[in-house]
Structure 1
Amino acid sequence: MTEILLIRTGLNLQDNLTWLVYSPQEQEIIASGELASASELNTLTEKSDNRDVIVLLPSDQVQLKTIPLPTKWNRKLEQALPYMLEEDLACDIDDLHIAIGDPGMIEEQHTINVGITDATWFEQWLEVFRENEITAYTVLPDALLLPNSAPDELAGIELNDQWLFKLNDWHIAAVEQSWLAGYLSALGNPDVNHYSPVTDFPEAVTLKPQTQDYDLPLALFAKQLPHVKFNLRQGRYQLKKQGSLWWGYWKSAAIAASIALICSITIKLVELNQLNTQVALSKAQVVDRYQRAFPGTKVRPQLIRSQIKGALAKISGGSDVGFLSLTNELVSVFNQVNEFTPETLRYDNRRGELRLRARAKDFQTFGKVKSILENNGLTVEQGSLNNDGDFVVGEIKLRGGA
């Protein structure tokens, strides 16, 4: 597995940024540091090469909400989601970027998790990373990467003079020290599992130090990445990976490509077998109809085309608009129209008229045949059409053009 570069942004481009290079395989920190502002991001461009870049946004700029739904999550609800949120938001819904998380259930109520942030602010940070040639396929709010705690217990860590908290799976907050007592009181003073030393917490709160997991905040976040599937880069902000960053990605892609290739070859073989069967069936039908039309003649399947032409030439008497000419026109129709099967064929030599009784899959097929023949310069008269089970049976009369 490749190394990971985590970059935690500030509220604006002038705030300091923290970064960390972490090896999931070795479970160790490779390097870490701070940048005075976004103007120094170019110093991380080289470090981002051949590493999976994860951008962390301040949690006070990303709101996580769980939205109740009238029914199970589906595409129609996804289209209606902005209107469902509109009443709960103080700003114009068009100014926001809404990222969709996992659907769920609260008792018998269907729900969907969403992440919301200001679209202009979000785009500004994406553009800054693009300008510095740092490609980040994953963007997350930082506190979402805190470890999960028991129900109704908080997980917390201190970062840049703020406390980051996570309650259950989908409640996060960034709290200034001066707001700490009010925030905890509003939640009913839940127990706090803290991953950095604490000071000035209300006495009503039970503190549970996770000393064995004390670490740099970004290192703690890196360890939680496999457990978080959410990504703010969705919709118009989504990036498709250009290539594999490590063997695991390459292996998955190769397996998927192999399966797709095998499936494609199998489908083509099935289709080829079906076509061969249809060809054999058609040949048998041609031979059978030739023998019925010209009883007592010997059929040579490999020469059937020449035999038909010779027999028809005798019948038509060499007339340009005779039987042979009209049946030649019909041959082209059979090549162009599927599921159009002749049943009887009669030729009126006196009138120069060929009468064809045929079976087709629907009425439109007869219309298509009539149109093709007329486009070829023939005079076509369509008789009555009748349903015969799953098919339509009818008669077509055709003569040479006037």
Structure 2
Amino acid sequence: MSYRLYVRPVPPFSDPDQNPEAQLFNWVLHDASGDAQARGIGDPRNAIEQTLGQNALDNVLLIGLIPGDEALFCVADIPAKQSRFINQALPYAVEEQIAQDIDTVHLALGRHTDEGYPVAAIDEARMGQWVALLSGWDHVRLESIYPDAALLPITEGGWAICLAGEIALMVSDRGEWLSMQSANLGMFAHTLAVPPSEDVVAEVPVTLYATAEEFEVQQAAIGELMSPGRLTVRRETLELMPLELLAYAHHHHLCQPINLCQGRFSNRSNKANPLKPWKPLIAVAAVWFAIQVALEVGMGFYYQQQADELEQQAMAIYREAFPEDRKTDAGKVRRVIEGQLRVAGSQGPEVDFITLMKYTGQEYSRLPGARSVNFSSVNYSRTRGELVVDVRADSYDRLSALRNGLARQGLEAQIGSVVNESSGARGRLTVSGG
């Protein structure tokens, strides 16, 4: 994880187009574990860049915190779930909550909640000025921009308030942020102390953050905040500037801010691609892979064509030797020839009645439980070279075993006219030389 640089412009705000060097910032630098490594109050941009350069830090993530009153919090109730439809419906869903022409407003979408989608609305031209002010720094790249009050740690069921001079930063438990004059805290407290008429009166927890000096200076405003009986105020004393509290809450996910860098202000397209240095090598590897695949495919077609030609030649030779055999194909020719050679080697070139009976008798004697197999009649056709045997057995499996044994000897064996009976099965076994 990279270093993070949190910067918060301090008033008066300069025009980034006219005199950006005059703008001063409060800032804090966090390492990957969230520990502060450097900080500054009221420093110009070049002083911050110089500090980063002296510490040999590069590609630091810059998180900009702009005044909370620059962006308006609103909620969009959109039933759609796909991002494309949500973005299309977003302007219409919040138009009535914004007192400005919606076409001149930049909208940033937050994570979906039970109430809908939280939305941050900011003037589009003003957003462009903030992006210009926080972009182009040495050693850093802009990661995100948030309303500063949105980074306060959330108080469950109530509000968190941070006193920062004349400004009070506030955020509710649903992520709604506000920035107001500290002198107006009493009015805000009385508003919270008045519950809706239909609700039961309950205490509202409020966490108040400030430095010891701020607590001393802001005693009158704090007294007005604590005067309504419905608010339960808990003080938290800060040892350092409020910016460090905001940075801590953001690093430890104690808040639910909305990143304003979305849409046309998104910085994703500017992020460095980690694969960019390897693109030439990837391109060469892709070309080599494509050539290799094409070569393998070409060789596959070539060898397949050679195999087809050899099969055709083998079948042509077989047809010349056995012109009457039309059943044998290229897949069975080897097995058939081996069987014929075995038969020819033992009995000569002619497969006659004696030879067929010999092999049939051998396979019959090898059957387990051969006595359960009976031959009822035996016929031989010299013209067809076939031995036809009517066979009866206690099961069809024995008939099938007899046929398979003859086939293993290279003979053509078939069983036809099979009849299953209560006592077994009977059929006609036809054996030929294959």
Report what 1:122 is aligned to. Answer: 127
Cα drift, residue 292 of structure 1: 5.7
Q: How does 1:39-78 map to 2 (within 5 A)?
A: 40-47=44-51, 49=53, 50=58, 51-78=60-87
**Letter aligned with residue 178 of structure 2:** A
Cα 1:64–1:214 change in 2 (3 A) is farther
Conserved in 1, the CA contact under 8 Å of 2:28 and 2:243?
no
Change (3 A) 1:242 1:84: closer
Asked which structure has the greater CA Rg, the reply is 2
3-state DSSP class of the match of 1:102?
A: coil
Q: CA deviation at 1:277?
A: 7.7
Alignment pair present for 1:233 and 2:257: no
Q: Aligned runs of 1:1-400 on 2, under 5 Å?
A: 2-9=2-9, 10=11, 12-13=13-14, 17-24=24-31, 25=33, 27-28=35-36, 30-35=38-43, 40-47=44-51, 49=53, 50=58, 51-106=60-115, 111-130=116-135, 135-151=141-157, 153-188=158-193, 190-196=204-210, 197=215, 199=219, 200=221, 201-202=224-225, 203-204=227-228, 205-211=231-237, 214-226=239-251, 227=253, 230-240=258-268, 242-243=271-272, 272=293, 280=300, 283-284=303-304, 287-288=307-308, 296=316
Secondary structure of 1:206 counterpart: strand
Q: Cα gap change, 1:73/1:148 in structure 2, threshold over 3 Å: closer, same or farther? A: farther
Give secondary structure in 2 for the equivalent of 1:187: helix
TM, length-normalised to structure 2: 0.53
Match of 1:368 in 2: none
The answer to whether the 8 Å contact 1:5/1:48 transfers is no
Distance 1:291 1:28 in 2: 79
Deviates more, 1:135-144 or 1:198-207: 198-207
- The residue matched to 2:117 in structure 1 has which SS? strand
Quote the offset at 1:154 in angstroms. 0.8
Residue 191 of structure 1 aligns to a residue whose secondary structure is: strand
Q: Kindly provide the CA deviation profile for residues 43-89 of structure 1, in whole angstroms up to 9, marking residues without a partner as x.
A: 33324553332210000111122211223353212122112222322
d(CA) in 2 for partners of 1:28, 1:7: 13
In 1, distance between residues paired with 2:12 and 2:193?
Answer: 29
Q: Structure 1 230/289 Cα, relative in aligned 2: closer, same or farther at 3 Å?
A: farther
Give the aligned residue type for 2:100.
Answer: C
Q: Letter of the aligned partner of 1:13 in structure 2?
A: S
Q: CA deviation at 1:165?
A: 0.6
SS in structure 2 of the partner of residue 64 of structure 1: strand
SS at match of 1:231: coil
Two-structure CA RMSD over aligned residues (Å)? 3.8
Counterpart-to-counterpart distance in 2, 1:177 and 1:231? 26
Aligned equivalents of 2:142 and 2:121: distance in 1?
19
Moved more, 112-121 or 22-31: 22-31
Aligned mates of 1:94, 1:162 — CA distance in 2: 30
Q: Provide the TM-score with structure 1 as the length reference.
A: 0.56
Q: Determine if contact 2:167/2:181 at 8 Å carries over to the other structure.
A: yes
Aligned-pair distance for 1:163?
0.7
Q: For 2:146 and 2:247, how far apart are their aligned partners in 1?
A: 12
The one-letter code matched in structure 2 to 1:90 is: A
